[in-house]
Structures are given as structure tokens and as C-alpha cells.
């Protein structure tokens, strides 16, 4: 539904980045890509790795600017879409990536993926810091001295008590909405603020970090407008989802999460934050 509403290279990540809400969604995504290019000090000819590349929006930008872009994703459909559009993408978890096989990159970006790197089970068994250290260790091996990493991710602003997350909580309460989001983002637990990220980036200097919480709220408002239009493609897409909606309880909860704007409310209530961070290898 998002691709039907947002296009072939649907960029399902925060678009606005500087509070300028006079831009259209498309203009905001373009401006954000420029911001990312500046953050990694991009120049034509550079080789860039996109961890969690999605449908390839930033791969396309790098390629059009004369760079070499490589993407990783866990979605076979996204790999096929990228390849169909002349982009290089691999069906591969970053945890399984062999730096020797892929070689060096001049820069690494990861937009909207880091928040999914740690599962609830891993969080409950105390492995969250270990996972983040492994991510930065991988980036350290892939980058040259002073190579840049652009990281965009959701984080907890007020980390909840996991044991209170339940569908038995009052409807529209924080913990009920979190239960919906747990179905929408299965297997994901957010970082405990930007501080948890920074402390595990021991071989990197933090160059910049800024909040995108309000920008993400605006982005979700624009997504809603795009995906709720009464176009033939979107209407047919909804019709095709009816059998799944009727037979899959988890899917119905995911739809409820969208309809109730659970993610947006978590930002509005300051339960969740959103950061854009630039790191430089020491």
C-alpha cells in the first residue's frame, strides 16, 4: 500500500529534516537525501553501503550522483525491485556480512533500520549493547580512517516497562498502543535514547545528532494523505488485502496500528524520539 501510494522507490523513512514544512513530501525527501550526502561528505566516485536499503531510494540518489551504491535488505521483493531498476542490492543481514567479500566502502548509511536490530528476546537477555557494538565494529572494518556513517533511527525517549505492554491495557493508552506496535514491528526493541547508541560507538566520533521527532510526525501525516487517496491502484490494493485481513489476527492488529496512528502518538506523547546522527571513524 505504501509503494502504491508513494511510488516505485517508496522512501518509508522520515522525510522532513529541518522543520521546513512548506515542502511537499517529495521535496522533503530530496532535501533529506542532500542532507545525508553532505553528512557523509559524498563526492562522485565514492562507494557507499546502505544497510537496510528498502526499495532503493538512496541507492538511486548515489548512483545518479556518480557514486557506487550497494544495499542490504531482508526483503526478497526489495532486492528484486532494486535489481529491476539497475541498482545493486543483496538479500543479507548485516550480522552475516563478510567485510573481506564486500571490501572497503567510503561511507555507510543506515536509515530506519537500526531500531530493528535488537529483538525483544535479545533485549530481555541483556544482549542489546552487544548487538550495537557488533554493528559499529562492522562499520569500523568497512570504512577507511575518517570514513563517515550516517545513522537515522527511532529510540525510546522514556523507555517503557516491557511487562506492562499488553492488549489488556486501556485502549489508546501508551501500553496498549505499544502492544499494537509490537505486532507492527515484530521482533524489534528500540535503543534506550541516543546515549545507548553513542556509548557503543567506541571507534567513532559523534559529529552531529539532531532530533527528528516533529519531522517524523509531519512525515506520517503526509504518508496518510498519500496512501488514503481513492485511486484505482490503492483501491485495488485494499481489495486484495481483504482475505488476509479476515484470516490473520496479527495483520488486523497491524491495520489497527495504522488506523489509530500508534507510531505517531508515541512521538506526540514523547514516548519515542527520532535521531539523525553522523559518526566519523577515528
Mind listing the pLDDT tens digit for each residue in 56-66? 999 999 999 99
Of 131 and 6, which is predicted with more confidence? 131
Confidence of residue 118 (pLDDT cuts 50, 70, 90): very high
Q: Does the pLDDT value for residue 244 go beyond 80? A: yes
Judge contact between 53 and 28, C-beta under 8 A. no
Mind listing the pLDDT tens digit for each residue in 171-202? 999 999 999 999 888 889 999 999 999 999 99
Compute the average pLDDT of residues 136-141.
97
- 32 falls within a domain: yes
Judge contact between 208 and 162, C-beta under 8 A. no
Domain containing residue 98: CATH number: 3.40.50.150
Confidence of residue 10 (pLDDT cuts 50, 70, 90): low
Q: What pLDDT is attached to residue 11?
A: 77
Compute the average pLDDT of residues 225-239.
81
Confidence of residue 1 (pLDDT cuts 50, 70, 90): low
Show the domain range for 221.
Answer: 2-160+187-227+271-281
Question: If you search the block for the grid coordinates 505504501, which residue do you land on?
Answer: 2
**pLDDT averaged over every residue in the chain:** 92
- Return d(Cα 21, Cα 6) in angstroms, integer: 18
- 173 falls within a domain: no
Beta bridge partner(s), residue 276: 152, 210
- 60 falls within a domain: yes
- 242 falls within a domain: no
Q: What pLDDT is attached to residue 252?
A: 87
- 9 falls within a domain: yes
Give the rounded distance of the alpha carbon of 44 from its chain centre: 25
Q: Domain count of the chain? A: 1
- Return d(Cα 165, Cα 180) in angstroms, integer: 9
Nearest to 16 by CA among 26, 8, 7, 3: 26
Neighbours of 263 (CB within 10 A): 20
Cell numbers placing 208: 552531529
Beta bridge partner(s), residue 281: 204
Confidence of residue 256 (pLDDT cuts 50, 70, 90): confident
Q: Which residues contact 143 (CB under 8 A, 6 or more apart)?
A: 104, 105, 106, 107, 108, 149, 281
- 217 falls within a domain: yes
Judge contact between 195 and 136, C-beta under 8 A. no
Of 229 and 26, which is predicted with more confidence? 26
Nearest to 79 by CA among 63, 66, 93: 93
Of 168 and 4, which is predicted with more confidence? 168
- 16 falls within a domain: yes
- 233 falls within a domain: no
Amino acid at each position: 500500500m505504501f509503494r502504491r501510494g508513494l511510488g516505485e522507490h517508496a522512501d518509508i523513512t522520515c522525510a522532513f529534516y529541518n522543520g521546513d514544512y512548506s515542502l511537499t513530501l517529495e521535496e522533503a525527501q530530496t532535501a533529506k537525501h542532500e542532507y545525508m550526502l553532505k553528512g557523509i561528505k559524498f563526492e562522485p566516485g565514492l562507494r557507499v553501503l546502505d544497510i537496510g536499503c528498502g526499495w532503493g531510494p538512496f541507492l538511486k540518489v548515489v548512483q545518479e550522483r556518480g557514486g557506487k551504491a550497494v544495499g542490504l535488505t531482508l526483503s526478497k521483493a526489495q532486492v528484486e525491485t532494486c535489481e529491476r531498476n539497475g541498482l545493486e542490492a543483496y538479500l543479507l543481514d548485516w550480522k552475516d556480512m563478510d567485510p573481506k567479500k564486500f571490501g572497503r566502502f567510503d561511507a555507510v548509511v543506515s536509515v530506519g533500520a537500526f531500531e530493528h536490530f535488537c529483538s525483544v528476546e535479545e533485549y530481555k537477555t541483556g544482549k542489546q549493547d552487544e548487538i550495537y557494538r557488533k554493528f559499529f565494529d562492522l562499520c569500523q572494518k568497512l570504512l577507511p580512517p575518517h570514513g563517515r556513517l550516517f545513522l537515522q533511527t527511532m529510540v525510546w525517549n522514556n523507555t517503557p516497562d516491557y511487562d506492562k505492554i499488553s492488549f489488556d491495557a486501556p485502549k489508546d493508552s501508551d501500553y496498549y498502543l505499544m502492544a499494537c506496535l509490537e505486532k507492527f514491528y515484530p521482533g524489534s526493541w528500540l535503543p534506550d535514547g541516543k546515549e545507548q547508541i553513542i556509548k557503543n560507538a567506541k571507534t567513532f566520533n559523534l559529529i552531529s545528532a539532531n532530533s527528528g521527532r516533529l519531522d517524523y510526525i509531519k512525515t506520517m501525516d503526509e504518508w496518510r494523505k498519500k496512501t488514503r487517496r481513492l485511486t484505482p491502484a490503492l483501491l485495488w490494493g485494499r481489495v486484495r488485502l481483504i482475505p488476509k485481513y479476515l484470516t490473520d489476527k496479527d495483520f488486523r492488529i497491524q491495520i489497527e496500528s495504522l488506523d489509530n496512528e500508534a507510531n505517531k502518538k508515541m512521538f506526540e506523547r514523547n514516548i519515542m524520539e527520532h535521531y539523525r546522527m553522523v559518526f566519523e571513524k577515528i
